[in-house]
Amino acid sequence: MRTAYSPDQIRTAESALMAGLPAGTLMQRAAAGLAVVCARLLTGAHGRVYGSRVTVLTGSGDNGGDALYAGARLARRGARVVAVLAGSRTHEAGLAALRAAGGRTVAFTEEESLGLVGDADLVLDGLVGIGGGGALREPYATLAKATADTPALVVAVDVPSGVDSGTGCVEGPAVKAHVTVTFGAYKTALFVDPGATRAGMVELVDIGLRPHLPEPEVVAPADGDVAALLPRPSAESDKYRRGVVGIVAGSDTYTGAAVLSAGGAVRAGAGMVRFASSAEPVRLVRARWPEVVTTILDTTSEVSLDAIGRVQAWVVGPGMGTGPEAHALARAVLAADVPVLVDADGLSVVAADRALLRRKAPTLITPHAGELSRLLGVPRERIEARRLEHVRRAADELGVTVLLKGSTTLIAETGRPVRAITTGTPWLATGGTGDVLSGIAGAFLAGGLSGYDAASCAAHVHGLAARVAARGGVPGSGEAPIAALDVADALPEALRTL
């Protein structure tokens, strides 16, 4: 697991480490690692460091010192380094080191500074570090905006300026980096949108902090972590031991959700999928997935799930509508004594009747920001701006496991670190992919995983499958548009890579 920490946790760990080291040691370690990454990027892009044009954006704090010392190391290798001094003060020792190495400095003026950003081969963002919060003030805001337009490689120091390192919030202009070089440990914002999208590729430089770090606030599972959790059949397995998942989804209006959620469960390795809905969705599921056991539900009378057969977990909601019949179905499923995943229309039903979530068995909900908005009574824009805050609040307030979908998916459960899933691709932003995800997670729930683990594994595998589908199954190739059913069909290959 990659682990991420809040600014306070990082500062406490740094203080403990620095107590046993000569002054300035940590900054030199950080600057050395930063310079190595910058040199590698310049060599990759231009074939050499010597003669490359590097613009260092320098703020008032230690973050600016890191950037100046790294600039000095690049200048000693022949780079033409200019530091734009944008803060009310400058790290004096770093400034002296840069000048001694042959680097230049200029005080901020808009025309000259923006010209240096636009003409550089590499821009090093050392404006604001982990202590920054709220919108950037001038001239930092102007310089941050300029990083979006420069053809240069943009490298952020620790976190992109304008991104709150503890929450991922972006409240105004912010640097958009190609690479962020972070020191000692990952910062929470590097895993949580909207900040994570500003970070680009993240490089971690070890400065010796790990022995002093507490329990993390956010973790990001890697392939190996997910592989270790996934249910696997043994020689003694049969379809019942592998897990039977029941799916109540679809309607005569929304038939596709039925086919997609069932397909996600089938392709994710459920031992058996039992599907129940009205006649038309059942017909289509039978045609596309003949291995699924189907039941036509009569919603004109009191709903009973007895005829469907026993399951180890339920999925309820995709495409089933939000009327009285849907409410009756959701109530019947949530009355069961097995884990239940609630998605899509099911979330609208429980938003109108949150008492349905008061149950003893585990519950997993899988909203996007709009659906979570209805559950919490909070504007969607506020949730999108503060995703970490609201996924935690939902888990605590609703007493469930929450998978908040997005470009970085977050999974929250009370008393556990939030898990951030970063395997996705923007091509997942298409109709029906969430239905496939619900089927995958339902299969993992039925296979015996907890809601927290099932959600994490499902989102991770879902993202991998989307990448496989977008690349046409060819590793390293470019990505192309995909449909939701492509994601379901790519699941076996994604699981094989794990």
Annotated binding-site positions for AMP = 405-409, 434
Q: Judge if 178 and 229 occupy the same domain.
A: no
Mean pLDDT of the chain: 94
Q: Judge if 269 and 198 occupy the same domain.
A: no
Q: Judge if 101 and 72 occupy the same domain.
A: yes
Q: Judge if 276 and 372 occupy the same domain.
A: yes
Is residue 133 pLDDT above 90, yes or no? no
Q: Judge if 44 and 101 occupy the same domain.
A: yes
pTM, full prediction: 0.92
Annotated binding-site positions for (6S)-NADPHX = 62-66, 129-135, 140, 158, 257, 319, 368, 435
Residue-wise pLDDT tens digits, 460-488: 999 999 999 998 876 667 788 999 999 99
Q: Judge if 279 and 239 occupy the same domain.
A: yes
- Cα distance between residue 129 and residue 108, in whole Å: 19
Is residue 239 pLDDT above 90, yes or no? no
Question: What residue has token string 């001094």?
Answer: 85
Annotated binding-site positions = 62-66, 125, 129-135, 140, 158, 161, 257, 319, 368, 405-409, 434-435
Band of residue 300 on the pLDDT scale cut at 50, 70, 90? low
Q: Which of 30-34, 236-240, 342-346 has the lowest mean pLDDT?
A: 236-240
Annotated binding-site positions for K(+) = 63, 125, 161
Of all residues in the chain, the percent with pLDDT exceeding 90 is 89
Q: Which of 195, 218, 241 is the last residue of a domain?
A: 218
Is residue 301 pLDDT above 80, yes or no? no
- Cα distance between residue 136 and residue 198, in whole Å: 15
What is the C-alpha R_g of the chain? Answer: 26
Domain count, the chain: 2
Q: Which of 218, 239, 273 is the last residue of a domain?
A: 218
Residue-wise pLDDT tens digits, 367-420: 999 999 999 999 999 999 999 999 999 999 999 999 999 889 999 999 999 999
Give the number of other Cβ atoms within 10 Å of residue 179's Cβ: 18
Q: Judge if 269 and 334 occupy the same domain.
A: yes
Q: Judge if 431 and 471 occupy the same domain.
A: yes
Q: What is the pLDDT averaged over residues 162-182?
A: 95
Q: What is the pLDDT averaged over residues 299-313?
A: 84
pLDDT at residue number 367: 98
- Report DSSP state, residue 94: H
- Cα distance between residue 243 and residue 271, in whole Å: 5
Q: Which of 218, 243, 258 is the last residue of a domain?
A: 218
Question: What residue has token string 């995800």?
Answer: 437
Nearest partner of 148 among 193, 100, 198, 195, judged by Cα: 198
Q: Judge if 207 and 228 occupy the same domain.
A: no
Q: Judge if 450 and 335 occupy the same domain.
A: yes
| CATH number of the domain residue 27 falls in | 3.40.50.10260
What angle (nearest 5°) sits at the alpha carbon of residue 361, between those of residues 358 and 367?
65
Is residue 238 pLDDT above 80, yes or no? no
Q: Judge if 236 and 168 occupy the same domain.
A: no
| CATH number of the domain residue 323 falls in | 3.40.1190.20
Instruction: State which residues form the domain around 104.
Output: 2-218
- Asked if 216 contacts 192 with a C-beta cutoff of 8 angstroms, the reply is no
Band of residue 242 on the pLDDT scale cut at 50, 70, 90? confident
Q: What is the pLDDT averaged over residues 59-68?
A: 94
Residue-wise pLDDT tens digits, 320-349: 999 999 999 999 999 999 999 999 999 999
CA distances from 417 to 224, 290, 362 (A): 18, 40, 18
Is residue 54 pLDDT above 80, yes or no? yes
Q: Judge if 70 and 23 occupy the same domain.
A: yes
